[in-house]
Amino acid sequence: MRELVVMSREWCHLCHDLLDELRPLAAELGWTLRVLDVDADPELEARWNELVPVVLGGNTELCRYRLDAAAVRAYCRRFPLESAP
């Protein structure tokens, strides 16, 4: 399963805005989203703190603070669906 990870915070309006934009893009590309609340894990909070929201593909940071749809598309194109010609 192809998955993008979003480092987020529940109270962060930028996080909500980014997710609202990313959800339809991920669906269009056939990728799932996993949202991690950095405040729920001390290690994530220590690493990401004020850097959220961040979209990760694997260990690659695709964008921070605002959605970079072109970067997400470029990353996802590197992993075509098996059913694609």
What are the boundaries of each domain within the chain? Answer: 3-77
Q: What is the mean predicted confidence (pLDDT) over 66-83?
A: 88
Continuous segment of H or E residues that includes residue 58:
none
pLDDT of residue 85: 47
Q: Is 2 left (phi over 0), alpha (psi -120 to 50) or beta?
A: beta
Residue 55 pLDDT greater than 80, yes or no: yes
Higher pLDDT, 67 or 1: 67
> Architecture of domain 3-77 in CATH?
3-Layer(aba) Sandwich (3.40)
User: What mean pLDDT value characterizes the chain?
Assistant: 93
pTM metric for this prediction? 0.90
pLDDT of residue 81: 66
Helices (H), the chain: 13-29, 42-48, 69-77
